[in-house]
Structure 1
């Protein structure tokens, strides 16, 4: 039975994705309304946005998101970080290519990370280049670099990113405060230069990730979260990062001038490293926070109408 149903599930997903993509290209605001109602069972509040989700979506459609494009781009954001005197937090860059056919595989070390600058989750983690199927990976990145991320989620700032491929140093997950199967991602919510809370994600798999929300003093707050089969309550709480204050200072500096942004950092050997800047977390439809906490975070976002 499962063998019969699974192809039908995949077909349904492809049809829905194609539909979302079509609507996203021609009427992105309509797509937001459709997806918001599907997610939350109610209409998006465009007139008086209240939650963090609603304010992210309002900002997406009512403000200039040129800087969102520049800083959500995993390659061009490096220039911004350097301009603020924070080049020390950048992960070492091995190369950048506009076409997969131009990737200089011979120049890369045995271990590295490769990704497209506009994607989400499509990452090659190479621990041993001698075991890598270069032909297969080249074909994969050839497809990825042609992809315009953002149509199915109505994120115009991602659509505007010119795709490229970058290779960076592979940070050692064994040199963290605790042993985890993936790097601990410290996602710091910031509002116009003011860090507010930290969402830690780790032990990530294709289907799930362990999560935990901490305040700035590193107190654990499970009451802020909605745990699911995908967003699993952390089985092991994390010790306070050695560089926590430094990470908060970095996040404050990077987020100054933006009503809201999530600054993602790592800590390896007690040293912070930059991950990315995210302006539309989960395309403005986060379901991993409670309604009360969504409203609290939303109250920290000042938009044009002063609310």
Structure 2
């Protein structure tokens, strides 16, 4: 009970105090918010004073319109529909395999490989918990506060019998020069591993929170096109992470992220924090 009270008090703190305490807990030092230099500090500053466009583009539904306008509709995952609640009528009309997401935060997604083996009541409880969650109050990433929650139902992308690896393009834009690092997340629903590549597909020594995969992913067939698409999107921002999937000979857009991990991801080697922080100015 005391732990719950402490947690409630902690999350009710003013944003600046909350972020300073949380940052200290992770990095064992206070962030420089008056003159941020490190990547984590600059992301933390965005959490508190985001640009208005971040709210629209962090919304996993609204961002589709933006992406269609910038790179084209053909890169969007097939959308089965949206809903403010997972009613049984909505559930019944979905295909046997699909992905359900909430639009207003991170981690709100569930893959349904076979609806005949899925319990509707359990899925209803899960999606209701997402919709009732204010992601801003969880993480204090302010641009999420104004997103109206809803559910999104999309086609399930598969490579063989598995979901494809996440290809996340960290795009830094300074003085018109765009620098790209590519994060690969393996086995999101198994033993989660992560690698960071440069734009020529050389695996770097950079570690973001997780261990490297024992075997690095082979160079994607559509890498050049994905880098081109990511830089077209990133041209409007000082820093953004652009997520794609490669399935066969097709590229699919995933999402845009402006504050990955809320700025709280441990990075190795330590010099990467200052290096990545030097690649953009907000």
SS at structure 1 position matched to 2:26: helix
Q: TM-score, normalised by structure 1?
A: 0.84
Alignment partner of 1:250 out of 213, 229, 245: 229
Q: Which residue is 2:188 aligned to?
A: 204
Quote the Cα distance in structure 2 between the aligned partners of 1:76 and 1:16.
36
Alignment partner of 1:225 out of 204, 207, 221: 207
RMSD (Å), alpha carbons: 2.1
Aligned pairs for 1:114-193 (under 5 A) are: 114-174=100-160, 182-192=163-173
Q: Which residue is 1:60 aligned to?
A: 47
Name whichever of 48-57 and 70-79 sits farther off.
48-57
Q: Which residue is 2:199 aligned to?
A: 216
Q: Which residue is 1:263 aligned to?
A: 242
Q: How many residues align?
A: 279
Tell me if structure 2 keeps the 8 A contact 1:200–1:211. yes
Tell me if structure 2 keeps the 8 A contact 1:20–1:151. no
Q: In the alignment, does 2:80 pair up with 1:101?
A: no
Quote the Cα distance in structure 2 between the aligned partners of 1:256 and 1:97.
32
Structure 1 unpaired stretches of 5+:
1-7, 176-180
Q: Which residue is 2:281 aligned to?
A: 302
Quote the Cα distance in structure 2 between the aligned partners of 1:86 and 1:131.
35
Tell me if structure 1 keeps the 8 A contact 2:47–2:262. no
Q: Which residue is 2:28 aligned to?
A: 41
Structure 2 unpaired stretches of 5+:
none
Quote the Cα distance in structure 2 between the aligned partners of 1:288 and 1:270.
33
Superposed CA deviations along residues 148-205 of structure 1, whole A, max 9, x for unmatched, are 1022321011122110001000001328xxxxx5421111111237242111111224
Tell me if structure 2 keeps the 8 A contact 1:55–1:301. no
Quote the Cα distance in structure 1 between the aligned partners of 2:46 and 2:137.
17
Tell me if structure 2 keeps the 8 A contact 1:51–1:295. yes
Tell me if structure 2 keeps the 8 A contact 1:211–1:232. yes
Superposed CA deviations along residues 248-302 of structure 1, whole A, max 9, x for unmatched, are 1111112222111111111110321111111111101121343211111110111
Name whichever of 96-105 and 34-43 sits farther off.
96-105
Quote the Cα distance in structure 2 between the aligned partners of 1:75 and 1:154.
21
Q: Which residue is 1:5 aligned to?
A: none
SS at structure 1 position matched to 2:100: strand
Q: TM-score, normalised by structure 2?
A: 0.92
